[in-house]
Amino acid sequence: MNRFDVELVGKVGSMALVNKAWGDIDYNVISRISRELVPGMIWVTSGATEIGRLDYIKRNGKEIDGKEEDNKIDYAAQGQAILMANYRQYIDPKYSVRQILVEHQHFNDDKKRENLRKLLLRCPAQNAIPIINYNDPLSDEEIVKLELRQLEEKGQKTVHCMDNDETASQVACLVKCKRLLIYTSTLGIYADPSNPDTIIREIVGKDPYELIDNITACQSACVGSSRKGANGAKAKLEYIKAPAQNGTEIYIASPQFSIKDILSGNAPSTKIYVK
């Protein structure tokens, strides 16, 4: 029987947290998510860069005039403060909230990986909810590529974590969670990406090996992504293979539905698990 140290690792994407019509953070989504978070859950959040960009425009009437990569860094630094303020505002005040910024090195270095694991596992007993995001403001893409290449040349398998879907999947493996919820801009994984009616409700296997084969088969139908720079459903399915092998149940779903309804099967999603 599998033993799980954490009940749930969840992740929400950038586009789910932004209301395009308003040009602002979607307070309905972030408040609904936050009110369901309790100790024993770990939440991975995207959104800092886009929320920071929108906030900068509201305050200055224009976007930052600079290099695209520098702008992303500056927006992310501004958006982090807004994200955390909103999670703190809506999470039950009897719980502590802890911001944890991670980079690839925290998963590729054994000591840092263990320190992160211990930090996360202390949270439930201390009545705390960790909110994780990638440390975009201090992450230089060229330096990251160099560091990863150096590790790969030594024969080490590496984790990049520039996509928070990968970050959430790696966190799920690190703490061995019972369930992993990936909120995305669709209802789940579609057999036909242009038709929401073709949602795949379950990807199952009689054992981890068959499950991975069935996940790989579903990847062939996945094309496109929700935004520039995103890797899309195909990458999501690749990232979740590792926690799936550990026995974690995975749900890919829309944030228009509550965590409770998704996990109970009362809302549409793609559920991936060993049967």
pLDDT one digit per residue (tens) for the chain, 275 residues: 567 889 999 999 888 899 888 888 999 999 999 999 999 999 999 999 999 999 999 999 999 999 998 999 999 999 999 999 999 999 999 999 999 999 878 888 889 999 999 999 999 999 999 999 988 766 656 545 555 566 566 666 666 666 889 999 999 999 999 999 999 889 999 988 889 899 999 999 999 999 999 999 998 877 644 444 445 788 899 999 999 999 999 999 999 999 999 999 999 999 999 98
Beta strands in 164-248, from DSSP E residues, in sequence order:
177-183, 202-205
- Beta strand residue intervals within 13-75, DSSP E: 18-19, 24-25, 41-45
Could you please state the CATH topology (level 3) that the domain comprising 6-274 is classified under: Carbamate kinase (3.40.1160)
| 70 to 144, 158, 215: CA distances (angstroms) | 15, 26, 37
CA atoms within 13 A on the CB side of 133: 24
Can you tell me whether residue 191 is helix, strand or coil? Answer: coil
Q: What is the pTM of this model?
A: 0.89
Max CA distance (Å), the chain: 57
**How many DSSP H helices and E strands does the chain contain?**
11, 10
The CA-based angle 227-161-46, given to 5 degrees, is 50
Distance CA 81, CA 62 (A): 20
